[in-house]
Amino acid sequence: MDFIFIEELRVQAWIGIYAREKAAPQTVELNLTFGVPDAAAIRDDIADTIDYAEVIDRIRLELAQRHFNLIETLGEFVVDLLLNDFRAPWVKVRLAKIGVTKGVRRVGVFIERGRDADSAAAGGAQVPRSCP
């Protein structure tokens, strides 16, 4: 399996439980890695892969329109989007709120999922099953 990565994607998102967080969108930084079929490199055809520009546009659109209380929920939303809407076989998402607390650069979550327990992650490790 080949992988596409998107690093330091900054998006404005409505996230948080505190009044100050609900008053205005916050900057969220996403780092995404997702599996793509090997056929993309072999055939050199965009139809055989996941278009990263479409992924970026869709994430920006969705996060501008929705509110999430928890960063964990936002992370699971992005994972679900990649697995189900874009049909990625494996996804790793690292996302963080920027400057949310004094003296802390980032607060975030890391999530890794595959379509099934047999999906292999980078380095041949087994991808954890999704939580029920």
Which of 22, 92, 97, 102 is flagged as catalytic?
Answer: 97
Helix orientation angle between 52-65 and 71-80, rounded to the nearest 10 degrees: 140
97 is catalytic: yes
Which residues lie below 8 Å from residue 82, measured CB to CB, with a gap of 6+? 32, 34, 50, 55, 88, 91, 93
Residues belonging to the active site: 97
